[in-house]
């Protein structure tokens, strides 16, 4: 894949993840049952909002990296922005795994569904939404890897090799003081 196309794909994949998280937030916060409250709902919503904040930073860095691979080419700027994007995405993956998709959290959702009434379909929908985020996370991960590969290949193409040669030069060492003294004596 071409350099610019890889970075466009990264921004696209981050956008898909953002859309999925916004849909999950809508399910968690807006579609929750009207009767009864659950602290778990607030915890999930807070986690999703944190993820969206990190995702906005990652997306901003991806756009800066995309600008760096445009014309004029600023490969070092693109590399630095891609590093920021990667760091933010790593935080997103960790938070997703620990605060949304962990076995304990998904089990908590199931327990909340045992309340009956509207909680059962809400919990099932929330669990499906959490699990559906895995695919766009994988897409971003693949897009990041492609961007790094493109940068590595581009850096390898632009390497410069310098080789010094002494063609046509004759280097003569001056006589030492001892040799000069010996020549003058004879």
The radius of gyration of the chain's CA atoms, rounded to the nearest angstrom, is 30
Distances 102 to 61, 121, 181 between C-alpha atoms, Å? 28, 20, 89
Q: Is the pLDDT of residue 84 over 60?
A: yes
pLDDT tens digits along 21-54: 999 999 998 888 878 778 889 999 999 999 999 9
Closest alpha carbon to 137 in 95, 103, 107, 102? 95
Q: Is the pLDDT of residue 166 over 70?
A: no
Q: Is the pLDDT of residue 171 over 80?
A: no
Task: Report helix, strand or coil for 125.
Answer: helix
Q: Global pTM?
A: 0.78
Q: What is the mean pLDDT of the chain?
A: 87
- Percent of the chain, pLDDT > 70? 83
Sign of CA dihedral 39, 105, 136, 23: negative
Least confident of 6-10, 41-45, 170-174: 170-174
Tell me the mean pLDDT in the region 159-164.
52
Closest alpha carbon to 7 in 170, 147, 135, 101? 147
Residues near 18 by Cβ (< 8 Å), separated by ≥ 6? 52, 55, 56, 59
Closest alpha carbon to 103 in 68, 136, 127? 127
Per domain, the residue ranges of the chain are 3-185
């Amino acid at each position: 894949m071409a350099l610019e196309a890889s970075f466009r794909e990264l921004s696209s994949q981050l956008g898909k993840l953002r859309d999925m998280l916004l849909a999950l937030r809508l399910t968690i916060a807006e579609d929750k049952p009207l009767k009864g409250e659950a602290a778990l709902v607030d915890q999930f919503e807070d986690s999703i909002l944190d993820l969206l904040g990190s995702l906005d930073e990652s997306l901003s860095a991806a756009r800066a990296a995309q600008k760096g691979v445009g014309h004029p080419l600023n490969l070092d700027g693109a590399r630095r922005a891609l590093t920021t994007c990667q760091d933010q995405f790593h935080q997103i993956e960790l938070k997703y795994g620990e605060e949304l998709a962990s076995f304990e959290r998904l089990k908590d959702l199931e327990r909340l569904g045992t309340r009956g009434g509207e909680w059962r379909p809400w919990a099932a929908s929330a669990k499906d939404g959490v699990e559906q985020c895995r695919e766009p996370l994988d897409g971003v991960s693949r897009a990041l890897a492609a961007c790094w590969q493109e940068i590595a290949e581009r850096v390898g193409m632009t390497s410069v090799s310098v080789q010094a040669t002494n063609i046509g030069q004759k280097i003569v060492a001056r006589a030492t003081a001892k040799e000069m003294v010996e020549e003058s004596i004879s």
